[in-house]
Amino acid sequence: MITKPTELDVEAVREQFPIFRRTIRGKQLIYLDSAATSQKPQSVIDAEREFYERYNANVHRGAYRIAEEATAAYEAAREKIARFLNAPSKECIVFTRGTTEAINLVAYSWGWANLKEGDEILLTEMEHHSNIVPWQLIAQRTGAKIKVVPITDDGLLDMDAFERLLTEQVKIVAVTHVSNVLGTINPVREICQKAHEVGAVVLVDGAQAAPHLPVDVQAIGCDFYALSGHKMCGPTGSGALYGRKELLEAMPPFMGGGEMIRTVTFERTTFNEVPYKFEAGTPPIAQAIALGVAVDFLTSIGMEQIRAHEVELTSYALERLQEVSGITIYGSAPPEQRGGVIAFNLNDIHPHDLATFLDAHGICIRAGHHCAQPLMRRLNVAATARASFYLYNTPDEIDALVEALKEAAKFFGR
Ligand code: PLP
Of 208, 238, 390, best ligand 1 pocket probe by most atoms within 8 Å of the beta carbon: 208
How much distance in Å is there from the Cα of 100 to the middle of ligand 1?
Answer: 6
Give the chain's mean pLDDT: 96
Nearest CA among 187, 181, 234, 188 for reference residue 208:
181
Instruction: Find the 177 Cα to ligand 1 centroid distance in Å.
Output: 11
Same domain, 79 and 15: no
Using DSSP, state whether 176 is helix, strand or coil. Answer: strand
Tens of pLDDT along 121-175?
Answer: 999 999 999 999 999 999 999 999 999 999 999 999 999 999 999 999 999 999 9
In the chain, how many H helices and how many E strands?
A: 15, 17
Ligand 1 lined by 38 (C-beta under 6 Å) = no
- Whether cis (ω within 30° of 0) applies to the bond prior to 275 is yes
- Is there a single domain that holds both residue 137 and residue 264? yes
Q: 157 and 209: one domain?
A: yes
Report if residue 105 sits inside a domain: yes
Average pLDDT over residues 311-340: 95
Kind of pairing, strands 261-264 and 341-346?
A: unpaired
Write the pLDDT tens digit of every residue in 229-262.
Answer: 999 999 999 999 999 999 999 999 999 998 888 9
* Domain assignment of residue 388, yes or no: yes
Instruction: Name the residue of 33, 38, 95, 100 whose CB sits within 8 Å of the most ligand 1 atoms, as the mutation to test its pocket.
Output: 100
pLDDT digits (tens, 9 = 90+) for 24-73: 889 999 999 999 999 999 999 999 999 999 999 999 987 899 999 999 99
One domain for residues 170 and 248: yes
| CATH, residue 379 | 3.90.1150.10
Q: 223 and 240 in contact (C-beta within 8 Å)? A: no
Total structural domains within the chain: 2
186 lines ligand 1 (CB under 6 A): no
Q: What is the CATH number of the domain that holds 141?
A: 3.40.640.10
Q: Is residue 352 part of a domain?
A: yes
**Backbone dihedral region of 199: left (phi > 0), alpha (psi from -120 to 50 degrees) or beta?**
left
Question: Do 106 and 154 have their domain in common?
Answer: yes
Q: pLDDT tens, 347-391?
A: 999 999 999 999 999 999 999 999 999 999 999 999 999 999 999
Residue ending a domain, among 300, 330, 361, is: 300
- Last residue within a domain, chosen from 257, 274, 300: 300
Burial of 143 (0-12, 13-18, 19+ CB in 10 A): exposed
Q: Indicate if ligand 1 lies below 6 Å from the C-beta of 228.
A: yes
In a domain, 1, yes or no: no
Does 188 share its domain with 212? yes
Does 261 map to a domain? Answer: yes
- Whether residues 175 and 127 share a domain: the answer is yes
pLDDT in tens, 400-413: 999 999 999 999 98
Domain interval for residue 95: 45-300
Is the same domain home to 274 and 126? yes
Residue 4 lies in a domain: no
Q: Is the pLDDT of residue 5 over 80?
A: no
- 230 and 355 inside one domain: no
Which atom in ligand 1 lies closest to the alpha carbon of residue 102?
16
pTM for this structure? 0.97
Q: 166 and 312 share a domain?
A: no
What does the alpha-carbon distance between residue 292 and residue 70 come to, in Å, rounded to a whole number? 13
Is 222 considered catalytic here?
no
Task: Please say if the pLDDT value at position 2 is more than 70.
Answer: no
Residue 5 lies in a domain: no
CB of residue 124 inside a 6 A radius of ligand 1: no
Residue 27 domain flag = yes
Distance from C-alpha of 174 to C-alpha of 157, rounded to nearest angstrom: 13
- One domain, residues 265 and 320: no
- First-to-last CA distance in the chain? 49
State whether 151 and 272 are in the same domain.
Answer: yes
The last residue of a domain, from among 273, 300, 327: 300
